[in-house]
Structure 1
């Protein structure tokens, strides 16, 4: 009798948990042949249900009879594990919408999942949301996972979460928090005294990009130099390639153009033999920006290279990566004297950035305005530029926004609007820390009348 009571109690506990998870009350489980009071007795372990009642209850709470009776359902668990594995594969292949759906379907049956598979599905769901541009939702999912006491500092999973959180906060524009997360992660690794792994190199590389975005170029260069030394000694080709990639971006922002180009070429060579086509394509975009800095770039070869990279990103890249690829192709077409093609690329770039940071959108609007101007659409160019300026005005100071202000100033000058051009140039200089001299005191103003 006691053994039967124990088994019944387990059934009742599972029934109650599943009912509450689906937002049902006991009345929802009742029927003409199954009273509310009998449902209550089952949930409290005071009655052992018959097979017929088990089948009815299992159907109403959405589980198998086997799970309700024993807490196990091997067929259901296998089905969910396949969904999670499909989600992992879809993320790698750039099918982020399909991945999100697969992870979400698995998580809808969370009681059937063990802790390991449950965490895997939650992390996958967060990463898929990030790649779909749903950054704030991704942060809400990643934060409790990263702060969970069960997440072991220094583990591959911990490193993956640290990188993703750092990257998400960076991309929504919260540079202070992104740097704080990256620095805390690096300090944790140093305190643990662990050997450097590719995962740890990824944290450092992401932190370099955050420093760079915030304008902390000295910190970024010191960390880049340190990581390049470690990567050459211990890192894989992927880790070394990513470190050289970030170092190239930093060198470019500091005006070391030849060094940036050499570092990018080295990174391309390191990643060429890997199977990460997305990283290769993204790096070719970086390479394209650097090549365009030359006075006489081989535009036809560059266009072919970038179109190939763009096709890859259309398959496996995020919307933001595709937008940057479109923007670069627009710049190439402007240099080739093909403003209509540039206009098409710039329009698509802007359309892809609906969920991205405002500085990215402002930069895309300035490029669109340039394409409109070169296409003879002066009024449209002025309207696009005015929209870009409105978006730029409230943004925090970064080197990126300074460059966009400079580009806006150049275009205002071409449009014959010197007052707006001057204001844009002044904003660019101010954001770079170069401020105007204070106005003289009134008694020292010379009367030239």
Structure 2
């Protein structure tokens, strides 16, 4: 079977597809990935041995610009921005994916809703099978959780029934994305849709997240096939300079915000909070390009490194709460401090607190005092003990399980 895995997103969206693509290829499937062509993602997929078909544009600068605009805009203006960007993404991704999917039997789409919509349209026009994938249960309709709230479309304050709120979500997605999707459908000679969410989501959905960290309770609103998280094995050694720093003292606290372009001030707040506990610091530069705040020898800055190896050597992993970073730290047994910024990150912050394997900061902009208080909880011996216990429960075979389920499930997915 030839399968195209596609996303338009950051590293947290791309790396699981590299793992899933490698697992599919190990099972004899001809898997390929369409993802942003940023240099770091090209290297990642090359390491996994999975062919890359670049998306319509690199994502790093686009994402940073979108975050910059959103932080300075009113909700209604952000909603208009989302819709205008959706039209660009749907149209241009449709062109790219039409080529990438040539000869494929199935398309599995992850990431931004407009990109998934483009994948669904390509599958429809080519008459091939399609499935949506996601890395977090909160994106799926369920009576147990509320839908994500979009700028300019707040959930009704007087409605507490989650089913009713998910109906409201249909209207929201139609308002934000309907014009872009139906506009392209008209140009392709296809009839308009009344419910773009149902079209893009389909049924069933592949939920590629760990069932301990992000458990899925069966819902009569949608069928989800859950596996463990798709983790790409990483055998790369840590840089020698980092190894020397780690050997030279007590385990440090890791600080990194991944693909989130947080303010440079975040480094100062984090370092001061960590120093208040007498701990050393490893700062991951990330897309925010964080750097040490001074030349003290208790801080070490790193670029892209093997997180799987590094997290086994730290006292705490302090991060933004991306799904990939959360599962990497949990699997390594590293207590966590999550400072959630956007999307599903508040969910992962809540989950690590509920599991007792870390602490969640209340809000995206900590002060030195507020972050130091949260870090104190993560450094507690009982948190480390609980993190060690939960680490043993995290699935290590999520990519293989997902690949097998995907091949089996595709047999019953309608074209």
TM-score by length of 2: 0.24
Which has more radius of gyration? 1
TM-score by length of 1: 0.23
* More helix as a share of residues: 1
Structure with the larger RCO, 1 or 2 (CA within 8 Å, 6+ apart):
2
